[in-house]
Structure 1
Amino acid sequence: MDSNNHEKSKWALPFRKKSGPRLHKDDITVVDTGNAKKAVVATALGNAMEWFDFGIYSYLAVIMGKVFFPEMTGSIQLIYTFATFSIAFLVRPFGGLFFGRLGDRLGRKKVLTITLVMMAVSTLCIGLIPSYASIGITASVLLLLARLVQGFSTGGEYSGAMTFIAESTPDKRRGFMASGLEVGTLVGYIAGSGLVTLLSYLLGPDRMLAWGWRIPFFIAAPIGLVGLYLRNHLEETPAFEAMEKAAQDEGRQKVPFRELLKVQWRVVLLCIVMVCSFNVVDYMVLSYMPSHLTAVLGYGETEGLLLILIVMFIMIPIVLFMGYFSDRIGNKRIIQGGLLGLIVLSLPAFWWIGSGKGGMVFLGLLCLAVLLTCFEGTMPSVLPALFFTKVRYGALAITYNISASLFGGTTPLVMAWLINLTGEPLVPAYYLIAVSLIGFVIVTMWFTETSGRSLRGSAPAVEKPHEVHEVLQEPEEALWWHEEQSAIHDQLSDSDPTR
């Protein structure tokens, strides 16, 4: 068989067209609830590790600027600090490409273990870098290198964690259980920001600047060891194991996901827009806002940090509620509600934040935070469901990280630059409104409800054995993605009749 025919044969079985969906009881996965909970905890801890770093870096942004960019002053120094924060996002798509391909080939568990170790080591290294006063520009370069390693590993971490949880949980509880991933985000961020707040109070500004800022980075190592232990004791996801078994039984070869993306450009664009909407408000509230309060609005460091810390505590149960609620009324409605809320309430929220009155500032922050939970409670279950099992990790990793790099991680830098350029403190509100308008239109037009339904390319996953019989009664609904799969087959056949 020549190479061209060999390539064509890869598509023959995975996307063969059938007369109708066929479903056998042995195809349906009865999820082990204990394993599903372990998967949530282990993946959430890795996400907590990632956001522990983001938290301490964001809350230490002013100090980091003085340590590594002392020749700059004021808002320019802050811009350089956030530029170092944002530049790591440039390598995230490359990390997504590298780890995503590995995840679809070797399994989700192995790759998530590798990314966690890389994150822990690179975060620890930041705490070991000498200051600019000691080694000059080399200090800034070493900080940049450590951030690049973090960005590369994160490229495979979050998308892999979403994939792992989505494939390990029952369909009817996917929203609630996957929302635990974002609880990990908040716990990590609270731990990082809370530690910085406590150290700032105990040590004071001089000792924090001299050596206290290093302490939070040192703590990354033991957190990484705990996460490594938990992930090593996980089982591979049922969806990936079923795919591997089918590949062995039927002789299927791995599908190059780049081919799938060519015929699913609308899904790719939808994912990019949804990730953009989610990440812009996420990084706006959790990464940029501490520095906005301090550097732009003139709030005391401790006061501003404490307000956001309290808001994040309040967010935790709301995130879980949003995940639970999405399983009941549908994730599309929750996402649309969050986008509409940002369109209507972003300006009032920033007016309140800029008022200078403690209660109004807290109300503005809480308003943005509650709207953020609409995405945190749904996106970890929504995004993996956009792609077929065979290419899910790789396709999601690349798409997610391209969007996160272009629109999410750059948010603090863009906001700092625009405010410095215009002198207008309401720029973040206008930015949120524009992004949310685009997101609402695209989600309304293109997003198909996935709550309570099987993942694309996989048979249903249920929680109780008696649910298997219920699923078998409606195979068309159980394999709702069958027509979409057939359409992909037709598109491929039209582009190459020999397939």
Structure 2
Amino acid sequence: MAVEAPGHSQRKLAIAGMAGNILEWYDFSIYGFFAYAIGENFFPSQSKATSLIDAFGVFAAGFLMRPVGALLFGHVGDRYGRQRALTLSVVAMAIPTVTIGLLPTYHQIGVAAPVLLVILRLIQGLSVGGEYTTSVIFMIEGAHSDRRGMMGALGAAAAFGGVMLGSAVGAIVASLMSQQALAAWGWRLPFLAGITIGIAGYIIRRELRNVSDLPPVKPPPMLEVLRAQWPRVLQVAGFKVLESVGFYLMFVYAATYLTEIVGITKTQALTINTIGMAAAVLMLPVAGAISDRIGRKPMLLASAAAIIVFAWPLFNLMWHPKLGAPLLSQIIFATLVALFVGVAPVTAAEAFPANVRCTGVGLSHNLCMALLGGTAPMVATYLIDKTDNEMVPPMYMIAAAIVSALFVLSMKETGKTALAE
């Protein structure tokens, strides 16, 4: 049976897990909010859609390294401790983020610019591949047995908070300068701010070591984990399809959709996105807490069903001429996605035993994110461009919700059982 940390240590667990997650996801997400400017500077083309697709392609490339990062940091977390893996991941994110902010453009150094951009994005993907899942496991393992869902949801809320911070910073920067200045050099400012964020994250993680009394466990060799756990990995990855597609369509791609497709200003789009993220941050712990009372599967199935029913009309609402309509659509969408995502961390953590938990959860989560999450903005942009159908995103969301619901039905209810050792 898992050893629960005392009350004061649980608060420290929450701080250590959430703080680095906020900072890490700020660094990782700001690329998506400035993809249009990055496309113009690193992938110049006569077609704006082509530049944007190329930029989102690099965004997706970062996700290719997430499964590798999950294996690397998962192994470190399982063998050497959760805290060490978390501290290393913050450093591995901050350095390439600041470097992107300093990177010369295509017009300055030619093809080397996009090549270096891809390399830096791959390093970011390696880092974030181990950060999110390790941090939520770190929090869940030290939580009281009747609060595991809420604690895992707080970890998810921290990730949303990091993306929200990136969106807010983007909105502020966009409001302070012209569109020309923003595209030319203003997009660099949020990346350069990553240095202070990285330093803060490192200090927090370093100072909050050994706050949990969890017993050490000896993990099996990595190849043995892959051999023995692959059915569970695929099952968990399958139920996370909606989390992956929903998050990146609604909280990264939506700002571009509102600007390039619906036609509102960049400042308005980022403001709407930020408010939607705030609604999700508030709803995530609520979803986790409810799952502690009624179970994981009822919450997951209810939220998936709601998205299947409401995705199409909510996207239609984005096209309403009054600005309040897309804002309302984003808030409702954010709430529905949060009801699912808030329960996903604890459901995944409860699916694996302690000695392979970091590796198993990290690999399943990041496989799904690499294949479906990181590619969602690029796929949506490509399909809209090729089909001339602006309603591709809700169809994508509905399909993801159906797939996730089927996998959830195949899983056992774990809300009232002890964490497997």
* 2:70 is equivalent to residue 106 of structure 1: no
* 2:202 is equivalent to residue 234 of structure 1: no
* 2:418 is equivalent to residue 454 of structure 1: yes
Partner in structure 1 of residue 299 of structure 2: 334
Question: What's the CA shift for 1:426?
Answer: 0.8
Given candidates 14, 21, 26, the residue that maps to 1:52 is: 26
Task: Give secondary structure in 2 for the equivalent of 1:211.
Answer: helix
Q: In the TM superposition, what are the counterparts of 1:150-161 in structure 2 within 5 Å?
A: 150-161=124-135
Partner in structure 2 of residue 167 of structure 1: 141
* 2:86 is equivalent to residue 86 of structure 1: no
Given candidates 12, 37, 43, the residue that maps to 1:38 is: 12
Question: What's the CA shift for 1:359?
Answer: 2.7
Amino acid of the structure 2 residue aligned with 1:453:
T
8 Å CA contact 1:256–1:391 kept in 2: the answer is no
Partner in structure 1 of residue 394 of structure 2: 429
Given candidates 346, 354, 357, the residue that maps to 2:322 is: 357
Task: Give secondary structure in 1 for the equivalent of 2:187.
Answer: helix
The CA distance in 2 between the partners of 1:190 and 1:94, in whole Å, is 26
* 2:253 is equivalent to residue 288 of structure 1: yes
Q: In the TM superposition, what are the counterparts of 1:389-404 in structure 2 within 5 Å?
A: 389-404=354-369
The CA distance in 1 between the partners of 2:251 and 2:331, in whole Å, is 12
Q: In the TM superposition, what are the counterparts of 1:129-144 in structure 2 within 5 Å?
A: 129-144=103-118
- CA distances 1:341-367 after superposition (whole Å, capped 9, x unpaired): 111111111111123332322222122
Partner in structure 1 of residue 267 of structure 2: 302
* 2:119 is equivalent to residue 145 of structure 1: yes
Question: What's the CA shift for 1:260?
Answer: 5.0
Partner in structure 2 of residue 485 of structure 1: none
Partner in structure 2 of residue 388 of structure 1: 353
Partner in structure 2 of residue 65 of structure 1: 39
Partner in structure 2 of residue 202 of structure 1: 176
8 Å CA contact 1:171–1:451 kept in 2: the answer is no
The CA distance in 2 between the partners of 1:130 and 1:206, in whole Å, is 17
Question: What's the CA shift for 1:237?
Answer: 7.2
- CA distances 1:401-449 after superposition (whole Å, capped 9, x unpaired): 11110011111111111111111111111111111112112212x2222
Given candidates 206, 211, 225, the residue that maps to 2:199 is: 225
The CA distance in 1 between the partners of 2:13 and 2:47, in whole Å, is 45
Give the 4+ runs in structure 1 shifted more than 6 A: none
Structure 1, gaps ≥5 residues long:
1-26, 248-253, 458-499
8 Å CA contact 1:243–1:389 kept in 2: the answer is no
CA 1:117/1:72 → structure 2, altered by over 3 Å: closer, same or farther?
Answer: farther
The CA distance in 1 between the partners of 2:343 and 2:124, in whole Å, is 25
The CA distance in 1 between the partners of 2:168 and 2:4, in whole Å, is 40
Task: Give secondary structure in 2 for the equivalent of 1:232.
Answer: helix
- CA distances 1:299-342 after superposition (whole Å, capped 9, x unpaired): 22112111111222222221121122111111221111110011
8 Å CA contact 1:179–1:380 kept in 2: the answer is yes
Partner in structure 2 of residue 213 of structure 1: 187
8 Å CA contact 2:39–2:52 kept in 1: the answer is yes
8 Å CA contact 2:241–2:403 kept in 1: the answer is no
CA 1:357/1:39 → structure 2, altered by over 3 Å: closer, same or farther?
Answer: same
8 Å CA contact 1:117–1:228 kept in 2: the answer is yes
Amino acid of the structure 1 residue aligned with 2:307:
L
- CA distances 1:76-103 after superposition (whole Å, capped 9, x unpaired): 1110110010011111111112221222
Question: What's the CA shift for 1:270?
Answer: 1.8
Partner in structure 2 of residue 371 of structure 1: 336
8 Å CA contact 2:4–2:142 kept in 1: the answer is no
Larger Rg: 1
The CA distance in 2 between the partners of 1:72 and 1:371, in whole Å, is 38
- CA distances 1:132-161 after superposition (whole Å, capped 9, x unpaired): 221122111111111010011111111211
Amino acid of the structure 1 residue aligned with 2:385:
N
Amino acid of the structure 1 residue aligned with 2:215:
A
The CA distance in 2 between the partners of 1:236 and 1:209, in whole Å, is 45
The CA distance in 2 between the partners of 1:233 and 1:129, in whole Å, is 32
8 Å CA contact 1:104–1:390 kept in 2: the answer is yes
Q: In the TM superposition, what are the counterparts of 1:5-20 in structure 2 within 5 Å?
A: none
- CA distances 1:181-208 after superposition (whole Å, capped 9, x unpaired): 1221222122211111111111111222
Partner in structure 1 of residue 163 of structure 2: 189
TM-score by length of 1: 0.81
Amino acid of the structure 2 residue aligned with 1:367:
I
8 Å CA contact 2:13–2:212 kept in 1: the answer is no
The CA distance in 1 between the partners of 2:57 and 2:2, in whole Å, is 48
